[in-house]
């Protein structure tokens, strides 16, 4: 068995809030269906309506080959097994192993690399958002069990790290990446020491120092007559993709790459961000300085970024096949989006502070969208070119400062 790497200072325990059992489809295996259908309290109900709970799953995605059904949701979007006390009926009556395998796996994530598998958590879970329970580092036996489950459910997931790049065109052997990784995690892992946006700026500077002198990182100079507008157009598209007003609207989980390119070539007069049906200009957002968040929110944002960095969920097969530098800048952009969203909420309320629970819901939404995005090659290419620019990353971070 290869090595399991577990992040430090990350805790988890299910809070039993039932939030992960709302709206989102749960893929189900044949074994899950047979096991659940045979439960005494359910046999009669399932026999009366055999297709009511399990809808055949028609997915061509090879990652989902182990799943044949999805668990049908009630008309209000709740799982049929979620009780009015927000408890899973299957878990309460028959124990955790009676639940669908995907429910047993959530919120653990596993990312396999040439030097072992990295554990992380989905921040769609309240337990992860609130850092509840014992440290993951003290739950090794449980993590190994979940990892085995993950491997049995997703045998086709075999990430290929052979094309790891520091920036586009600069291939890097995995051992070289690991040397950089140790320093990156030292910079990003200190989430109680300084603001995460400042940590990411430091991580970007460290990576730039690893490049040969005079490497060109500003790749679109001719097309970027107005670079700040390009920043705004990119932020607008990613804000709409990652933090839409209606999280459950089933939109294409991709950028409009051609539309973005058209607007870069011929930018509109004004770019506005729309949140909760209200429009905000970038000048207005720039003028309202946010500063440091409350300590709980800062800690949460830090844990979210640290988990992604620790588990290599920000570059290569870990995220959109971005290069390492563009991946770090994408993480910086995610923190900027969260901070911009907080600014917008605060402005709507004329400055009344945004509560930690509201910040947690922003990060929960972001995590859910990140797990759904599926970028086309065209989108990846444009993201790589726009995100590799350190000047852009710096400007975007200062917009959200």
Q: Give the footprint of ligand SF4 on this chain (CB under 6 A).
A: 21, 26, 79, 81-82, 88, 90-91, 99-100, 103
The smaller minimum CB distance to ligand SF4, of residues 128 and 336, is found at 128
Query: Bridge-partner residues for 116, per DSSP?
Result: 113
Neighbours of 247 (CB within 10 A): 15
The smaller minimum CB distance to ligand SF4, of residues 49 and 276, is found at 49
CB of 107 to ligand SF4, least distance (A): 11
- Rounded Cα distance between 118 and 95, Å, is 28
CB of 126 to ligand SF4, least distance (A): 13
- Rounded Cα distance between 120 and 157, Å, is 16
Instruction: Find all residues with CB under 8 Å of 302, minimum gap 6, and list them.
Output: 191, 192, 196, 199
Three-point CA angle 347, 350, 356, nearest 5°? 70
133 near 11, Cβ under 8 Å?
A: yes
**Residue 70: exposed, middle, or buried by beta-carbon count in 10 A (0-12, 13-18, 19+)?**
buried
CB of 18 to ligand SF4, least distance (A): 7
CB of 321 to ligand SF4, least distance (A): 31
Q: Reply yes or no: is the peptide bond before residue 107 cis, omega within 30 of 0.
A: yes
The smaller minimum CB distance to ligand SF4, of residues 99 and 329, is found at 99
When computed from its CA atoms, the radius of gyration of the chain, rounded to whole angstroms, is 22
CB of 144 to ligand SF4, least distance (A): 21
CB of 81 to ligand SF4, least distance (A): 4
Closest CA to 253 of 237, 264, 271: 237
The smaller minimum CB distance to ligand SF4, of residues 95 and 212, is found at 95
The smaller minimum CB distance to ligand SF4, of residues 102 and 187, is found at 102
The smaller minimum CB distance to ligand SF4, of residues 91 and 330, is found at 91
């Amino acid at each position: 068995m290869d090595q399991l790497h577990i992040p430090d200072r990350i805790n988890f325990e299910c809070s039993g809030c039932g939030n992960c059992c709302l709206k989102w489809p749960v893929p189900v295996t044949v074994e899950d269906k047979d096991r659940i259908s045979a439960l005494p309290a359910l046999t009669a109900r399932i026999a009366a309506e055999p297709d009511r709970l399990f809808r055949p799953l028609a997915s061509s995605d090879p990652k989902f080959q182990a799943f044949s059904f999805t668990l049908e949701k009630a008309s209000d979007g709740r799982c049929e097994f979620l009780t009015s006390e927000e408890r899973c009926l299957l878990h309460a009556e028959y124990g955790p192993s009676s639940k669908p395998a995907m429910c047993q796996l959530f919120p653990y994530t596993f990312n396999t690399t040439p030097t072992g598998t990295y554990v992380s958590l989905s921040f769609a879970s309240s337990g992860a958002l609130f850092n509840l329970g014992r440290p993951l580092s003290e739950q090794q036996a449980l993590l190994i069990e979940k990892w085995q489950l993950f491997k049995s459910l997703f045998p086709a997931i075999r990430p290929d790290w052979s094309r790891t790049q520091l920036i586009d065109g600069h291939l890097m052997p995995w051992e070289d990446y690991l040397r950089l990784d140790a320093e990156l995690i030292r910079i990003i892992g200190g989430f109680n020491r300084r603001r995460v946006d400042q940590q990411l700026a430091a991580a970007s500077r460290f990576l730039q120092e690893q490049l040969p002198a005079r490497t060109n990182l500003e790749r679109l100079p001719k097309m970027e007559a107005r670079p700040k507008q390009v920043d705004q157009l990119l932020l607008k598209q990613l804000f709409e993709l990652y933090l839409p007003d209606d999280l459950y609207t089933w939109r294409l989980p991709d950028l409009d790459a051609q539309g973005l390119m058209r607007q870069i070539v011929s930018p509109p007069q004004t770019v506005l961000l729309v949140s909760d049906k209200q429009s905000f200009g970038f000048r207005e957002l720039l003028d309202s300085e946010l500063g440091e968040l409350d300590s709980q929110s800062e800690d949460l944002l830090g844990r979210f970024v640290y988990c992604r960095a620790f588990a290599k969920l920000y570059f290569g097969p870990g995220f959109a096949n971005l290069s390492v530098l563009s991946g770090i800048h994408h993480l910086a952009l995610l923190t900027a989006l969260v901070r911009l969203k907080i600014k917008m909420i605060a402005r709507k309320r004329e400055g009344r502070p945004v509560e930690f629970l509201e910040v947690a819901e922003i990060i929960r939404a972001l995590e859910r969208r990140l797990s759904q995005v599926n970028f086309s090659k065209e989108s990846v290419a444009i993201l790589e070119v726009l995100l590799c620019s350190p000047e852009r990353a710096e400007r975007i971070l200062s917009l959200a400062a």
